Structure 1
């Protein structure tokens, strides 16, 4: 069989052809390899250089290689933190014509470390707690997307520092399955596997003397279950609020944003005893809010401004009668700009705006409404908030953004 390279980028096959595919991976010469730390794997894995890129090459049978390649591409489309699939090489043979195993090629995740490399110096328990938090967040994100991992473990995860915390990335999707939605039993199975695998990995570290003496491997394996449970509850629970307490909705959205999740959908069902608000969180890529706001409204804003404006737009759309009838989001968004955004911003005198652009002014008004509503314990409305802001805040601030009072 002739050598075949299936790749996501048309430039990759030419770069990959220079690698010694006629040799088993464990016999590749050092000149092709990049000395990076590797985790434990049931397969032979090597890091190599292809042009300007560092790639991870893993030998496995053709069917699982193609399957994992497809799953990793699906996870990329869903915005899930995972390694990038670059290609699959099949039809390999040695100089004598004997067949060699196909390989899966992924892009090396810059700045990431396998967990065993991190334990070369004994990690403090606080650092290990952050690792468990990162892994729990990754597992929740996978489950929200309908992905059953089937082998959640420290070994199948890469960790990268993220502003004092850690971000976890899936590195092995071989046992995974993608469904429209996971059942509680599927999620529990994944979680139980994670608990057993993590405890076993930490027991192994304990036996080698690489584990902090105060760390109990079984307790840490159980910790991910508790962390996962509280996070899943916060993300998926149905909230029931009294009528008129719409600032409670914003409080919930803020908590979700603080956890690193964004509200992509929001459904409001009116009941006799209040409003039932169901949140469907979705993890999105960097710059998503800027692009989404620009597409829907034509407004160009910074990322955090765009997130804030989109949250307000979602809340407003859910109150419109034609929203439930299937009105197009673009139509509702332009109505929001015309009836809400522009009149509100224009209510702020130009001489008091200072250097603030329109998006920043609207953001400030939303923040002020939030503060006043929390103090009054009911939603005071945007018009009242704007009037108070113009009368009492802007004259003192001189048209520059300022922190809100506690």
Structure 2
């Protein structure tokens, strides 16, 4: 038996698991089944402060998925952290399945939990899930990854400032190429459409799908949304020499979608009266990277966009205060650099507000999502009162009226079994958050 550990110092308890035993025979404390039908034996295990998903599958698939999940992470794509690969197991002289261990994605929401609508407050769920899944598929294709099994079951979702972000959790049938052909992309798209339709119809048949979500309507939108996003990110466009502003407009649209452009090729025609530009889009995460550079905070893309807007608002308030002080002293007030404003925002606004939230409530949501919801809550309170409500005041009612009664989402996959009224240890019908 061979056990390959990734970053063992970050996961010291993994090496002590009984990998030589079949997963069905494990009797460890804090081990749980999770809802859903899947192809392999899967368990969720809590070790210390972390949770892990262990999946039993043939060695060939263990090696493939281990490699591809590592490559996804190295490419900056949203996926789970692979922790260990176990291969070469033998029982009674006969080779048996190996195991793949991944770190459970904290605050992730399985599609069964999302689309049942039980205890979750995310509007337009069908569209949110669809946009997140399509965006993920486009990002994979841009990076040369063929998924081969794009489905709701192989994806986890996280809240992202009113939207959802999607994460790859299963790459058994995947592959990576220098560049995908149109045929490969079309095949992946067809698989996605059929798999999503099947997953939604399965939920509907079991009475677990929100009534306002139509399986066929949602699945049939996948191709149109994919092609629209792919065209926006990759297609060239034409303009005349006096319409160079169109380049800036295109760049702004790409930035709004969270993508940056590494380079842009501009070609003029033989007559010189028309020009064509082709963007070379790089990885998604334009705003998240910018916020990380300014503050060190790790967030998803929409959360980062919202927090950058708040930093700009905070900077405007600071500048106005400096102007008022300058008028009193007769000295000019020079504008502060963005990085200085961001550090002040972190020290004077974000961290003080987060420090007032009881520690146990951070099991509800990520800090960045809490901050986004706080801004939303303050806006609604201000609209109702017809006057600006201070964030500190809004925080008090947000904690008591919203956050305290919200479900714990740090490890909602474990809780899902009770919500659906099924046994959390029934391996015949368990939901695999990493499958």
State the TM-score, normalized to the length of structure 1.
Answer: 0.67
Tell me the secondary structure at the aligned position of residue 283 of structure 1: strand
Tell me the secondary structure at the aligned position of residue 17 of structure 1: helix
1:120 Cα deviation after fit: 3.8
2:104 aligns with: 108
Q: Distance in 2 between matches of 1:182 and 1:239?
A: 22
2:388 aligns with: none
1:78 aligns with: 75
1:147 aligns with: 145
1:66 and 2:46 are equivalent in the alignment: no
1:310 aligns with: none
1:356 aligns with: 336
Structure number with the bigger relative contact order (C-alpha 8 A, sep ≥ 6) is 2
1:227 Cα deviation after fit: 1.0
Asked if structure 2 preserves the Cα contact closer than 8 Å seen for 1:146 and 1:182, the reply is: yes
Greater Rg over alpha carbons, structure: 1
Structure 1 runs not aligned, ≥5 long? 294-302, 308-350, 362-406
1:279 aligns with: 279
Asked if structure 2 preserves the Cα contact closer than 8 Å seen for 1:125 and 1:215, the reply is: no
Tell me the secondary structure at the aligned position of residue 229 of structure 1: helix
Tell me the secondary structure at the aligned position of residue 13 of structure 2: helix
Trace 1:120-199 onto structure 2 (pairs within 5 A). Answer: 120-121=116-117, 126-199=124-197
Trace 1:226-375 onto structure 2 (pairs within 5 A). Answer: 226-271=224-269, 272-284=272-284, 288=289, 354-357=334-337
Q: Distance in 1 between matches of 2:262 and 2:333?
A: 31
Q: Distance in 2 between matches of 1:163 and 1:254?
A: 20
Q: Distance in 2 between matches of 1:289 and 1:213?
A: 40
Cα displacement string for residues 138-169 of structure 1 (whole angstroms, at most 9, x for unaligned residues): 00001111111111110110011100000001
Structure 2 runs not aligned, ≥5 long? 295-303, 309-330, 342-435
1:282 Cα deviation after fit: 1.7
Tell me the secondary structure at the aligned position of residue 254 of structure 1: helix
Q: Distance in 1 between matches of 2:170 and 2:199?
A: 16
Between Structure 1 and Structure 2, how many residues are aligned? 303
Between stretches 265-274 and 119-128, larger displacement belongs to: 119-128
1:43 aligns with: 40
Instruction: Please tell me the root mean square deviation across aligned C-alpha atoms, in Å.
Output: 2.9
Tell me the secondary structure at the aligned position of residue 148 of structure 2: coil
1:213 Cα deviation after fit: 3.3
Tell me the secondary structure at the aligned position of residue 167 of structure 2: strand
Asked if structure 2 preserves the Cα contact closer than 8 Å seen for 1:125 and 1:214, the reply is: no
State the TM-score, normalized to the length of structure 2.
Answer: 0.63
Tell me the secondary structure at the aligned position of residue 229 of structure 2: helix
1:42 Cα deviation after fit: 1.0
1:111 Cα deviation after fit: 0.4
Cα displacement string for residues 190-226 of structure 1 (whole angstroms, at most 9, x for unaligned residues): 1111111111111111111122334331221111111
Asked if structure 1 preserves the Cα contact closer than 8 Å seen for 2:80 and 2:168, the reply is: yes
